[in-house]
Amino acid sequence: MQSRFSFAISATDGTARTGTISMQRGEIRTPAFMPVGTAATVKAMKPADVRGSGADIILGNTYHLMLRPGAERVARLGGLHAFMGWDRPILTDSGGYQVMSLSELRKMSEEGVSFKSHLDGSAHMLTPERSMEIQRLLGSDIVMAFDECTSFPATRDAAASSMERSMRWAKRSRDGFDAGGEHASVSALFGIQQGSMEADLRRISADKLIEIGFDGYAVGGLAVGEGQEAMFACLDHAPSQLPEDRPRYLMGVGKPDDIVGAVERGIDMFDCVLPTRSGRTGQAFTAHGPINIRNAKFGEDKGPLDGSCGCPVCATWTRAYLHHLIRSGEILGAMLMTEHNLYFYQALMAALRAAIGEGRLTAFADTFRKRYRAEA
Ligand SMILES: [Zn+2]
């Protein structure tokens, strides 16, 4: 029988690593990109096509699913995998970030966060214990600890007290997860490092998380508007404070060049709405940088979205056709743009894994950046 959770690093190149996470529902090749399936769907994509793009794991959102259709209902319907028709690993976030960014009338306390739903105004409470219970009801494979996402920018005192509360909540998350019976024996729990841009606070946070003990560790509190330069400055030290033999997950990142730079700095897992969300609005990612397919110059362009892409969309349809679909608000436009973008991201991850495996990551990254930042 497959182990509950293991992480094997097959090669390193500088501080970058490539390897495999093994879980009961399948293997996750790292560095990995997780498409975001907010409301039990990767928007505009059928699960088989998500898998076809190369994804080993997807992300589900606790905040959205607890409000609609409700975690208890998903559990009665057999769990999130059966409900949405995806049988491979699912990572769920804790709901902490989205409760702060989406809900109304929030009230924070040591106990947790009480809030009103952005959908119907109904009252709810999220605590570390309730977040663990919801993620268990969903049947999550990788559960995230419930934390407080420190606002940015934060004063040093605010960053310190927010991090300390997150560490108390990390312990409560660990205890809540471990009390989950059967689910705890087949799934994994990740802790989340906080501490804003302060290296010493991140060190304290990492040490506390290691003392509690987790299967993997996320670098939290980034991709909150600090910009790439500040994010990379933080990633120059934060990953090395986390255990070498456990996966490191950078939450909510990012643009293709963010991912390349973070992989160079030792990150193993990513998630972001960018390929799906921007696909629906007409942005396509290409080896030569993003393009906006709505632009008039694509109206009679007979070429594919990206000449170097091997996806089914680029094999079949022209930029001119996609330009027409998106401009006309056709549903197929959103579907095809999303599919191409997810393929682009997964092809990038595969290329990063190969480059690390062959010890040529620096050359690959330099070539990628040079091409990506040139005009499409
Ligand atoms: Zn393509």
pLDDT digits (tens, 9 = 90+) for 83-140: 999 999 999 999 999 888 888 788 999 999 999 998 999 999 999 999 999 999 999 9
Compute, in angstroms, the gap from residue 287 CA to the centroid of ligand 1.
10
10-67 pLDDT, tens digit per residue, is 999 999 999 999 999 999 999 999 999 999 999 999 999 999 999 999 999 999 999 9
Compute, in angstroms, the gap from residue 317 CA to the centroid of ligand 1.
9
325-370 pLDDT, tens digit per residue, is 999 999 999 999 999 999 999 999 999 999 999 999 999 999 999 9
Residue of 291, 290, 229 whose CA lies nearest to 258: 229
User: Which residues carry out catalysis?
Assistant: 93, 271
Compute, in angstroms, the gap from residue 367 CA to the centroid of ligand 1.
20
> Please, which contacts does 289-296 make with residues 24 or more away whose CB atoms are closer than 8 Å?
289/372, 289/373, 289/374, 289/375, 289/376, 290/376, 291/376, 293/319, 293/322, 293/323, 293/326, 293/337, 294/323, 294/326, 294/327, 295/323
pLDDT band at 375 (very low <50, low <70, confident <90, very high): low
What CA–CA distance (Å, rounded) separates 180 from 137?
Answer: 10
Q: Is the peptide bond before 247 cis (omega within 30 degrees of 0)?
A: no
pTM: 0.97
> Contact, 21 vs 5, CB < 8 A?
yes
Compute, in angstroms, the gap from residue 79 CA to the centroid of ligand 1.
32
Residue located via tokens 């407080």: 148
Compute, in angstroms, the gap from residue 314 CA to the centroid of ligand 1.
4
First to last CA, the chain: 48
**What residues have a C-beta under 5 A from ligand 1, the ion?**
309, 311, 313-314, 340
Beta carbons within 10 angstroms of residue 334's beta carbon: 20
